[in-house]
Amino acid sequence: MPDKGWRGAYLRLHPDAALKYLEIPNIYHIGRDELYEINESALAFLERCNGTARGRDLGAEEDFVEYCLEEGLLEACNGPAPVSVTCDRSPQPSLRYLELQLLHRCNLRCRHCYLGPPHPDMMSLEDSLAVAGQFARMGGLRLMISGGEPLLYPQLKEFIAQTGDLKLRRMLITNGTLITERNAVWLEVENIQFSLDGWQKGHDLLRGSGSFEQTMRGIRAAVHAGIPISIATMIHRGNLDEFDRMQEFVQDAGATEWGIDALCMAGNLEKNRDLAVSCETAAPLLKYARGGGYHGSSDGFACGRHLMTVLPSGKAVKCGFYENETLGDARENLAGCWSRIRHIALKDLECGSCPVVEECAGGCRFRAPHPLAPDPVMCAVYGRRPP
């Protein structure tokens, strides 16, 4: 468009953008996973940007329009290009991130898996689509499609195809061993998160001989297909000397995020305790992580302030570690399940008076000895001694 050409063009919300009313109104760029805070006046303007009116007739500040065009939040069309523009509204606090476990089956038997041995629970396609739809209408941002191993879900292709219009960022969480150049063609999600728990020696120690090469093939297939990727790594005794090599790979592969965490004593790890390392050993390696995250606190609350998990049975839980503390059936009422979560204020923690508690954000509530106790890993990261 020529300079100021948007005045005579038909403005509409960009296909990669969505209006989300969380605690305050926002524009969400789905592809970049970015939130832009706006005021009520800007929201009202953007709700009118449905491709049926020219820019000069929509009544907005020039600088704001041009900023939205530059950021890929609006697009200027030469002729009428009608689209439906809605603003999904969230309950308070907002549910922004939902892990949807489609099934419990997996093709690997990882020595650290917090889920433990696989079992046959699997959600129907109809139910999984219903949960995803509820999440979208609640103003959700990121739908994390997981398992078990989601590539074993018989109707994964249909699920991905039928959630493409939900105005959500879909992240497929996988071990990567089943991704090929053939199925990568239809894995049209916004991001694939691969579990890479070390270089060859360290990864195979955790996930089984040969799994490293299979995962690397899956990563290459996704990158070749143009699907953005991210990496998730658990710290264990077999990968302590491999983080520099992994860092080089993560950068070369163009991963958008590298999430790193310490092991939690649950599931299969109970029988493989020798894999765990001390908090003091794990702490320096957490600093290799980069990119965003979704487990953190916000507004003075501990982890899980905006996160919930739905199990293959349809039951909702705070996160996958709390599978025995169900909040209700998400297939029937996702919002009702969300309303039952207990949100822990940082000031109520035993370490609530710690000078770094806001920065530390309380760490992982499951990893802490009890719900209000300090997370020993985060105490080690910040050089603090638990009270």
Q: Does residue 322 surpass a pLDDT of 60?
A: yes
User: Under CATH, which number does the domain 97-343 receive?
Assistant: 3.20.20.70
What pLDDT was estimated at residue 295?
60
Percent of the chain exceeding pLDDT 90 equals: 92
| pLDDT at residue number 83 | 96
Residue 166 is classified by DSSP as S
For the chain, the domains span: 5-89, 97-343, 344-387
pLDDT, tens digit, for every residue of 42-95? 999 999 999 999 999 998 889 999 999 999 999 999 999 999 999 999 999 999
* Residue at 352: amino acid letter: G
pLDDT-based confidence at residue 358 (cuts at 50, 70, 90): very high
| pLDDT value at 2 more than 50 | no
Residue 230 predicted with pLDDT over 80: yes
- The whole-number pLDDT of residue 1 equals 44
Q: What is the average pLDDT value for the chain, to the nearest integer?
A: 95
pLDDT for the residue 294: 56
| Residue 192, SS3 per DSSP | strand
296 has a pLDDT exceeding 60: no
In the predicted structure, residue 309 carries a pLDDT above the cut 70: yes
DSSP letter string, 300-332: TB-TTTTEEEE-TTSBEESSGGGTTS---BTTT
Q: How many CB atoms neighbour CB 57 within 10 A? A: 12
User: Per mean pLDDT, which range of 217-221, 222-226, 295-299 is the poorest?
Assistant: 295-299
Residue type, 157: K
Pair of tokens at residue 195: 């579990």
For tokens 């009608």, the residue is 82
